[in-house]
Structure 1
Amino acid sequence: MAEGRSGEDIVSEYLDQNPHLVEWVESLRGGHETNKQWHARREFFLRNMETFPTVQPGFPSPSLDRLLSLSICWANHIFLGCRYPQPVMDRIKEMAEGVVVNDAPVRKTRDEILGKGKRTAGGDDDSCAKRTKPGNPFKQGPPPQAPAKHQPFFNRLYKAVAWKLVSAGGFGPNLDHFEILRACTESSKESLSCVFVPLKDIPDLPAARSQKEGQVCELRCQTVYLGTGYGRDEAAARAMASKEALKAFQGRKVTVKICRRRFNGRDVEDLVLLDDQPRNPGFPPAISYPFQPEQQGDGPS
């Protein structure tokens, strides 16, 4: 692709010269992506197609899956602050050469928001430091139509996880729960978000438990809460969170709902993935909350 002009001009000219690609490329857009996010990721994807010569428009392939996964990782890093293992970060940085994102989001960690010295989101374990503005993070919450918007994706993810569990011999303690969930999510052209916080720094835990050492991991996908896990370190906490998340996929269906949760000592409305089984209405306290005023104003134009 040509250099020296805006990314939009380059992409437009390229697609004008290759009209057979337009419909196929648009089919790769995620349902949750804003115009700004998609236009940036589309440019990243198109700039790197020639380095994946086995990618054929309209035909699935491991090379296409790899390129899509890398484009999603790059977009998640730029717009959501996600971090991945260092080899992945080095690869997407190299691939993004020439892609300019104007007014990229300025991200702050949960520590900075709360003014505390604890650490969120480890930098080399597919984790993600949430972006938000200082001030009140409880405005509005998810819009009423959000569950219906996210439901089609989680219906597809449910089928992918169900088949994966069948091929693995069923749900059990010896599974690599995180790997199954990660692989199925990325095959559906999305990625997981992981947030880590020391157990002792979590608000709303009973006093006896709040003194214990260890880490807490919260898993989300498309801003929807999947599960929370506790462990002696980040890897153990992530494994337990993945195990809890996969439990929802053992029923006959999964449903995205708006539920009440505690976050930083206050009740908030959160998007939660549930199965079809009766359950205790209580949820672990949230350690991240993606429905900030900044994000709510960043919808498609």
Structure 2
Amino acid sequence: MAAGRGGDIVSEFLSQNPHLENWVESLKGYCETNKQWHARREFILRNMEIFPTIHPGTPSQSLDRLLSLSMVWANHVFLGCRYPQPVMDKVMEMAEGITVHDAPERKTRDEIMGKAKRPASSAMDGDLQVKKTKPNDSDSKAHVKSTGHPVKTGPSPGAPAQHQPFFNRLYKAVAWKLVAAGGFGPNLEHYDILRSCVESCKATLSSVFVPLKDIPDLPTARTQKEGQVCELRCHTVYMGTGYGRDESTARAMASKEALKVFQGQKVTVKMCRRRFQGRDVDDLVLLDEKPRGQVFPPALCYPFQEDQ
């Protein structure tokens, strides 16, 4: 069965959408075990939104395609089948957030042979990698001397597009988590929900804390107050800021603000201007589709610059 609360999430979703329960159960294969079917059922339900032309109970090419992709994924997980790499990439992306307990572990002949040869070469490769990536002090000092200041970098023009696939997967994980929690609301454990969703997508949620009085870009009336400010990021993308009497409260409020972005139909990574240490900088920001003025809290950290 799908791992963790996967089965509970599916049950909760079907209880809220009873018209889907009989239909989806009719899709179970004759030879599928309950374990295989529960995992594939979650795959189907999670990805129905990708195929908006699917109507339960009505045959269609979209439904055939989704069922075929679900079988490809299930065959790979439970039977060790391999398919062309573009197909494998597609189904593994669609399966983000689904974990299967005690799935069979299989290795190809090339993997077995490669593993047997690896120890001797890996040490050599490791030494070479260290030498290649070790910073050259003389080059850095020469650059500082010639320019008068350390190297400053910003997010690359293509960074939003590079990060978008990950946040599309995170959007789906958050949507399912909120369904299991009964929807977005003030009484949720906002940080726990956001953190668990990020970790299910194989990433880490980072928190930065600064005393409220130490932030120069806040209005004077606020800088006199005691408390903490928390900024949340994932993959260098800014997600939300929160204020509180202590770090735990500030982080919870930042998580609540971040989860609000996931209430729309989609999320988008964009390059935006933010204040950082008294000046405007380019930053990557996670946004929903709602039109709004581009006014953000001052940045507590800026991951695209060396001389912070």
Calculate the TM-score normalised by the size of structure 2. Answer: 0.53
- C-alpha spacing 1:263/1:57, structure 2 compared with 1 (3 Å): farther
Quote how far apart the aligned CAs of 1:252 are.
0.3
Quote how far apart the aligned CAs of 1:137 are.
7.9
Give the partner amino acid of 2:169: R
Give the partner amino acid of 1:240: M
Match runs of 1:1-301 below 5 Å: 57=105, 139-293=152-306
- Using the alignment, how far apart are the partners of 1:268 and 1:192 within structure 2? 22
- Using the alignment, how far apart are the partners of 1:233 and 1:105 within structure 2? 39
* Structure with larger Rg: 2
Quote how far apart the aligned CAs of 1:248 are.
0.4
1:108-166 superposed Cα distances (whole Å, 9 cap, x missing partner): xxxxxxxxxxxxxxxxxxxxxxxxxxx96882310000000000000000000001111
Quote how far apart the aligned CAs of 1:199 are.
0.4
SS at match of 2:179: helix
1:48-69 superposed Cα distances (whole Å, 9 cap, x missing partner): xxxxxx675479xxxxxxxxxx
- Using the alignment, how far apart are the partners of 1:146 and 1:218 within structure 2? 20
SS at match of 1:205: coil
- C-alpha spacing 1:262/1:270, structure 2 compared with 1 (3 Å): same
The structure that is helix-richer by fraction is 2
1:236-263 superposed Cα distances (whole Å, 9 cap, x missing partner): 0000000000000000000000000000
The structure whose RCO (Cα within 8 Å, separation 6+) is larger is: 1
SS at match of 1:262: strand
SS at match of 1:173: coil
Answer whether contact 1:137 1:292 (CA < 8 A) is retained: no
- Using the alignment, how far apart are the partners of 2:228 and 2:151 within structure 1? 25
Superposed structure 1 runs of 4+ greater than 6 Å apart:
103-106, 135-138
SS at match of 1:257: strand
- Using the alignment, how far apart are the partners of 1:105 and 1:213 within structure 2? 43
- C-alpha spacing 1:196/1:58, structure 2 compared with 1 (3 Å): farther
Quote how far apart the aligned CAs of 1:292 are.
2.0
- Using the alignment, how far apart are the partners of 1:245 and 1:138 within structure 2? 31
Count of residue pairs brought into register by the alignment: 180
Deviates more, 1:136-145 or 1:181-190: 136-145
SS at match of 2:156: coil
- C-alpha spacing 1:164/1:268, structure 2 compared with 1 (3 Å): same
SS at match of 1:245: helix
- Using the alignment, how far apart are the partners of 1:255 and 1:238 within structure 2? 22
- C-alpha spacing 1:269/1:211, structure 2 compared with 1 (3 Å): same
Calculate the TM-score normalised by the size of structure 1. Answer: 0.54
Quote how far apart the aligned CAs of 1:209 are.
0.6
Cα-Cα RMSD: 3.2
Give the partner amino acid of 2:167: F
1:214-257 superposed Cα distances (whole Å, 9 cap, x missing partner): 00000000000000000000000000000000000000000000
1:82-126 superposed Cα distances (whole Å, 9 cap, x missing partner): xxxxxxxxxxxxxxxxx99959999xxxxxxxxxxxxxxxxxxxx
Answer whether contact 1:138 1:268 (CA < 8 A) is retained: no
- Using the alignment, how far apart are the partners of 1:174 and 1:137 within structure 2? 46
SS at match of 1:212: coil
1:25-64 superposed Cα distances (whole Å, 9 cap, x missing partner): xx9xxx9xxxxxxxxxxxxxxxxxxxxxx675479xxxxx
Give unmatched runs, 5+ long, in structure 2.
1-81, 94-101, 108-125, 136-147
- Using the alignment, how far apart are the partners of 1:158 and 1:239 within structure 2? 19
